[in-house]
Amino acid sequence: MVFDARSSSGSRSRRDATRPAAGRRPRASSAEAADPALTEASESALAEAGDPDEAPVTLRLDGKVALVTGAGSPDGIGYATARRLRDLGARVAIVSTTRRIHERAAELGVTGFVADLTDEAEVGALADAIVDQLGDVEVLVNNAGLASRASPEVLRPVSQLTYDEWKSEIDRNLSTAFLCSRAFQGGMAEQGWGRIVNLAATAGPVNALPTEAAYAAAKAGVVGLTRALAMELVADGVNVNCVAPGTIYTAASTVTEIKQGLGTPIGRPGAPDEVAAAIAFLCSPAASYITGQMLVVDGGNSVREAEFR
Spatial CB neighbours of 168, under 8 Å, sequence gap ≥ 6: 151, 154, 214
Q: What does each C-alpha distance from 134 to 79, 106, 131, 193 come to in angstroms?
A: 19, 16, 5, 17
Query: Would residue 215 show up in a list of annotated catalytic residues for this protein?
Result: yes
- With beta carbons less than 8 A apart as the criterion, state whether 191 and 217 touch: no
Exactly one of 79, 163, 215, 249 is catalytic; name it.
Answer: 215
> Sign of torsion, CA 61 248 146 217?
positive
What are the residue numbers of the active site?
Answer: 215
